[in-house]
Amino acid sequence: MLWQLTQMLWVGGWWLLQVGLLPVLGRIGLAPLLIDEIAGTFNALVVGFATACLIFQALVLMKAEGLVSLWRDIRGQLLLMALYACAMYFVVRFGWPDALRWQAFSYLVLGFSGLVLVLQPVPGWSGRVRQAHP
């Protein structure tokens, strides 16, 4: 359940920002420079929050499937790819601020790896119905 909650928060937040909030800000008539400033601030916050959630999800995966699942399991590989995208986003943002395309690329890699991660089964869930303990 922690896996799904964490995943919903960071992947849902990413997609809500891109598909929901930013287009609505453009439709209500805010100035484009203001929208860009809001997007830049929210993008950094979403990537920071996603980093914390990804670390937590990696810990949940390691607890459920073992350490080797980080590089042998598709979920672990997607988590590592998303973590690398977060790291690249912040390295480019603070170390090379003029490289906006690299920053956008790492942001998109984060979003689409999260989307593919949502389609994967939950760790420790083998398709059986869990029963409540009396």
Q: Which helix (H) or strand (E) holds 65?
A: helix 32-65
Please check the confidence at residue 42 and state whether its pLDDT lies above 70.
Answer: yes
Tell me which amino acid residue 17 is: L
Please check the confidence at residue 130 and state whether its pLDDT lies above 70.
Answer: no
Confirm whether 15 is domain-assigned.
yes
Query: For the chain, how many structural domains are there in total?
Result: 1
Token output for 96: 């090379």
Confirm whether 81 is domain-assigned.
yes
Confirm whether 83 is domain-assigned.
yes
- Give the percent of the chain with pLDDT over 90: 36
Confirm whether 58 is domain-assigned.
yes
CA 37, CA 119: separation in Å to the nearest integer? 32
**Per-residue pLDDT tens digits for 77-88:** 999 999 999 999
CB 65 within 8 A of CB 123: yes
**Per-residue pLDDT tens digits for 87-102:** 999 999 999 988 889 9
Confirm whether 131 is domain-assigned.
no
Confirm whether 129 is domain-assigned.
no
Confirm whether 45 is domain-assigned.
yes
pLDDT band at 117 (very low <50, low <70, confident <90, very high): very high
CB 69 within 8 A of CB 61: yes
Token pair 């009396």: residue? 134
Range of the structural domain that residue 41 is part of: 2-118
Confirm whether 123 is domain-assigned.
no
